Amino acid sequence: MNIYDIAQKSGVSIATVSRVINGGRSVSPKTQETVLRVIQEAGYTPNAFARGLGLNTMRQIGLLVSDVADTYYANEVAMLEKALRKAGFDVLLRCTGTETDKKKETLAQMLKRHVDAVILVGSSMQEQDDNSHILEAAEQIPVILVNGCVKGKNIICVRCDEMEGVRCCVRDMCSSGCRSLLFFYHTLSFSCRQKLKGFQLGLKECQEKGTPAKGSDVCIPGGFDEIMASAENYLREHPADGIIGADDMTAVAVQKATQKLGQMVPLVGINNSILSKAATPAISSIDNMAETMCTTAIKNLLDLFDGKRVPEDTVVSPEFIERESFVRKSVCGQEELQ
Amino acid sequence: MNIYDIAQKSGVSIATVSRVINGGRSVSPKTQETVLRVIQEAGYTPNAFARGLGLNTMRQIGLLVSDVADTYYANEVAMLEKALRKAGFDVLLRCTGTETDKKKETLAQMLKRHVDAVILVGSSMQEQDDNSHILEAAEQIPVILVNGCVKGKNIICVRCDEMEGVRCCVRDMCSSGCRSLLFFYHTLSFSCRQKLKGFQLGLKECQEKGTPAKGSDVCIPGGFDEIMASAENYLREHPADGIIGADDMTAVAVQKATQKLGQMVPLVGINNSILSKAATPAISSIDNMAETMCTTAIKNLLDLFDGKRVPEDTVVSPEFIERESFVRKSVCGQEELQ
DNA sequence: TTGAAAGCGCTACCAC
DNA sequence: GTGGTAGCGCTTTCAA
């Protein structure tokens, strides 16, 4: 069953059938009706491959993410997929892992698949130094970074100012009496670097404000169990009175460690994922506005497809979600206003 | 840059170039070498759409899941994607939600995309009564159910005997002294029905064994917060001394409720996801062997593509992962052996 | 082993 | 408004 069959049954040419399928402009209402009825009756669907060949697109968009098993990324992928589907695009999903070479290779493969755009989900998709592969990809198709930033033509960035979020959090912890802070993380991604900067900046500002606090960052590679175990060892030697986890998973694991040691330490996570709710005590978390980032990213992409001008770098502000593990006595930013 | 350019530069016909690209059979080593070198130098990649049109496949496989944002499904998607990529297939991802019509429609759309197979991830992709759409799809391409079961030609099922897992768990709880059990769930999926059956079966067996316990199942639709709130209300009126959650998320939410009420109740979740680790006390969980299911599913699919005969229904056994929320005094199945 | 040529099913341009 | 037809880039059959 192909376009020729439909043309024959309708008593028209394939050109007319094609027109009807693609929006029916300059087709008489009568012809249109006939053809549509035949298509309906025959249960005909145009061949996607042939269509792709002719139009040079199959309305597919590549989603690259280091790991969908990560709750936070999974959530973003879900939101992006939903928005893209609504706009009539299919999603080609690839997990890349964190190795630079794998990420580059995967991006190259996506280009060969002739996707209409590529979305790099999460800051882990961005390299610290050399992002030339992203620039190269952008020469062919739009590249969207969700929570990342690479400047270049045909590249759309949407990100959260996590540095600011952590900076404020540090200041809030200091004003709440914390004097010895720890920042735990497991991977030094782009986003993590920003958070670390915020951590240092916050400490510095506390010093200037006359409430000096010392702080260290500690890297524990691995998953939940490794972090929990190593954090326990670390905290036994280096107790702290305020802890920030680079993400909720890390925060929960560290929380477990403090509980084992009988230390009751103010604790904050990042991402505001279900893990922060699930923990006991529930963990206060810095929400990096995944939903806002995702909807903005897709909106910008669709605008770009429509030929509109689009902001090449959108920055959204994080939001502190207060739960049980740390309740602020004062709120950074608001004190200045008073 | 197309196959004609390569043919010209190599001094051969496009037929020969095509042969070289597709495995180089019946091509002289010398020609082969020349063509490969030209392809290399030109950085040529065959057009995926044209290839799809010719071969009637683009080596893409559709993954249908009710919601990737669900930690458990996300984990399965990650494992499936990895295995498929290794076998040279791309993954087309679609979240369907739980409405039957949406699921049917999405499946139909996947078929139109000419994917090589469809994988339905999670028992929520299966309807209780009418699965004719799955049978119909299977007339065109292989359909794989991960943790589901629909009998039919060209349908491969891999599932976990969750009924058995819950049945054993109930018996273990009874033998450990629980006399009033509660089973909480939020959606009555295929898998949930199995678990419920196991719950009832376990209770019945306890009765027969002379350790009668009463039990009820309670459905709370909604997400984490709704479950937590409603469970608290329910438990205030109907305290229990043993609780099973249909999944870890539910278990954690109910755990929170018990903690608010000051009830310290033996509790078991299902899925053995990171949530069960993250909770405090850590939640014992029935592991339904997601990894085994996924690897088996892909292995069977690849075998099917290879024309081998493949088991149409594989059942794996669940595994009880003991943590802090419930420690078994005796183990179901082992007592019989003694 | 190689080449010529006929599809694959559709889109889009150019006539009428 | 409609039809004829030349591509799109590849695979594959049939001859040579």
> For B143-153, what is each residue's pLDDT tens digit?
999 999 999 99
Mean per-residue pLDDT, A89-112: 96
Q: Distance from residue B95 (CA) to nucleotide C7 (C1'), in Å?
A: 37
Rounded-to-integer distance, Cα A10 and Cα A173, Å: 74
- CA distance to partner chain A, nearest, from residue B288 (Å): 17
Mean per-residue pLDDT, B150-166: 97
B335 falls in which pLDDT band (50, 70, 90)? low
- CA distance to partner chain A, nearest, from residue B96 (Å): 9
Chain B interface mutation, best of A51, A56, A71, highest count of B Cβ atoms under 10 Å: A71
- Answer whether A108 touches B (CB < 8 Å): no
Rounded-to-integer distance, Cα A200 and Cα A208, Å: 13
A228 falls in which pLDDT band (50, 70, 90)? very high
Q: Is A275 in Cβ contact with B275 (below 8 Å)?
A: yes
Does the pLDDT of residue B85 top 80, yes or no? yes
Residue A336: the pLDDT is 54
Domain ranges of chain B: 3-53, 59-160+290-318, 162-283
Helices (H), chain A: 3-10, 14-21, 29-42, 48-55, 71-86, 100-112, 132-140, 162-175, 190-208, 224-237, 248-261, 274-278, 290-305, 334-337
Considering only the top CATH level, what class is B59-160+290-318?
Answer: alpha beta
Of the CATH numbers 1.10.260.40, 3.40.50.720, 3.40.50.2020, 1.10.4030.10, which one belongs to the domain with range A3-53? 1.10.260.40
Mean per-residue pLDDT, B99-111: 96
The model's pLDDT over B24-67, given as tens digits with 9 standing for 90+, comes to 778 999 999 999 999 999 999 999 999 999 999 999 999 999 99
Mean per-residue pLDDT, A150-175: 96
- Answer whether B161 touches A (CB < 8 Å): no
- Is there a common fold for A59-160+290-318 and A162-283? yes
Residue A128: the pLDDT is 87
The two structure tokens encoding residue B15: 């037929």
Chain B from 274 to 293: CB within 8 A of any A CB = 274-275, 277-280
Residue A196: the pLDDT is 98
Hey, what amino acid is at A5? D
Mean per-residue pLDDT, A229-258: 97
The model's pLDDT over B168-205, given as tens digits with 9 standing for 90+, comes to 999 999 999 999 999 999 999 889 999 999 999 999 99
Average model confidence (pLDDT) across chain A: 95
Hey, what amino acid is at B330? S
Q: Is A277 in Cβ contact with B278 (below 8 Å)?
A: no
Strands in B220-322 per DSSP E = 242-245, 267-270, 284-287, 313-316, 319-321
| CA A172 from centre of chain | 26
Does the pLDDT of residue A148 top 50, yes or no? yes
The two structure tokens encoding residue B228: 């937590």
Tell me which architecture the domain covering A162-283 has in CATH: 3-Layer(aba) Sandwich (3.40)
Does the pLDDT of residue A335 top 70, yes or no? no
Q: Is A56 in Cβ contact with B52 (below 8 Å)?
A: no
Residue A13: the pLDDT is 93
- Whether residue B284 contacts residue B324, with contact meaning beta carbons closer than 8 Å, is answered with yes
B47 C-beta less than 7 Å away from strand D: yes
The two structure tokens encoding residue A229: 């175990």
Residue B336: the pLDDT is 53
A333 falls in which pLDDT band (50, 70, 90)? confident
Could you say which of A82, A94, A113 has the minimum Cβ distance to residue B95?
A82
Q: Distance from residue A109 (CA) to nucleotide D8 (C1'), in Å?
A: 21
